[in-house]
Amino acid sequence: MCSSASCARATDDTTMTKPAPPALLRVTNLHKQFGDNAIIKGIDLSVAPGDRIAILGASGSGKSTLLRCLNFMEKPTSGRIELGGTLVGTEKTQRDGSVKTDYSERELTAVRQRVGMVFQQFNLFPHMTALGNVMEGLRTVKGMAHEQADTMARAQLARVGLAEKADAYPARLSGGQKQRVAIARALAMEPELLLFDEPTSALDPELVGEVLRVIRALVEEGRTMLLVTHELGFAYHFANRILFIADGVIHEDGTPDEVLKHPRQARTQAFLARHNEFHF
């Protein structure tokens, strides 16, 4: 038997050496090309549960393509993406020594349930009501019974403040309401990670606030989120990490204070100098 002191030391040692939980998402040397045009040129990224990461950069820098690769709407040209510690896809070594990753649609469908995405242009089905849009994935992907899907979809619409718009078609909704329906649709799938691709860029200025308030409420729930945005003031208050992407690579990664108030890289400094209208 050990003395109380030695037992305590053993317990402390065990605690100190306990491995950290795996990252929710880990990206290693990600590349994406369209023909000869390289958009993502080697991105490494680790996302912990509860992270709120704002992604900044000029148009064409690769921000949206990165998100689309993480959701596998675009299949990476090369690199590794691990979700919950498990590699997505099957790696095969080619004769020349290179590694090619094959993806099955069944696997990617499962990944997209775990990684939800909200787009710039809403992507709602115009022939379906708000309720029908939120129910669609629950019925066709999850195979949920109509009554259960209806109940869950109505709950998600209420969550984003649109309970009374359940029977409205997209043509009868404002841009901000359409985007909130899109958020409700993503939330209905109960994703572990939410990706927002400039969710306010298509909105009139007076409608931006209603969408940002919904995202702020998700922050308070402890959701893990990646947000591509040009709303730098919101990014400062929303995020625990800021990434600045230029030319398909991460030029700067740090806290909001580090990146937005005290940027180290010249590219980040030049970008922020062109967007100095935000206030903290």
For the stretch 75-122, pLDDT in tens is 999 999 999 999 999 988 888 888 889 999 999 999 999 999 999 889
Give domain status of residue 56, yes or no.
yes
Name the region of 222 (left: φ>0; alpha: ψ -120 to 50; beta: rest). Answer: left
Give domain status of residue 153, yes or no.
no
Over residues 4-16, the mean pLDDT reads 51
**What pLDDT, on the 0 to 100 scale, is given for residue 22?**
72
Give domain status of residue 79, yes or no.
yes
Give domain status of residue 239, yes or no.
yes
Among residues 155, 158, 160, 157, which one has the least CA distance to residue 129?
157
Distance CA 91, CA 225 (A): 27
**What pLDDT, on the 0 to 100 scale, is given for residue 222?**
93
Range of the domain at 43: 21-123+192-273
**What pLDDT, on the 0 to 100 scale, is given for residue 20?**
59
Give domain status of residue 144, yes or no.
no
Band of residue 178 on the pLDDT scale cut at 50, 70, 90: very high
Give domain status of residue 143, yes or no.
no
Q: Which residues contact 273 (CB under 8 A, 6 or more apart)?
A: none
**What pLDDT, on the 0 to 100 scale, is given for residue 205?**
87
For the stretch 196-244, pLDDT in tens is 999 998 889 889 999 999 999 999 999 999 999 988 999 999 999 999 9
For the stretch 38-87, pLDDT in tens is 999 999 999 999 999 999 999 899 999 999 999 999 999 999 999 999 99
CATH code (residue 268): 3.40.50.300
User: Bigger pLDDT: 267 or 14?
Assistant: 267
Give domain status of residue 108, yes or no.
yes
Band of residue 3 on the pLDDT scale cut at 50, 70, 90: low
37-47: strand order across its sheet: 37-47, 25-34, 78-83, 86-87
Give domain status of residue 249, yes or no.
yes
Q: Which residues contact 110 (CB under 8 A, 6 or more apart)?
A: none
Summary mean pLDDT of the chain: 90
Band of residue 16 on the pLDDT scale cut at 50, 70, 90: low
Number of domains the chain contains? 1
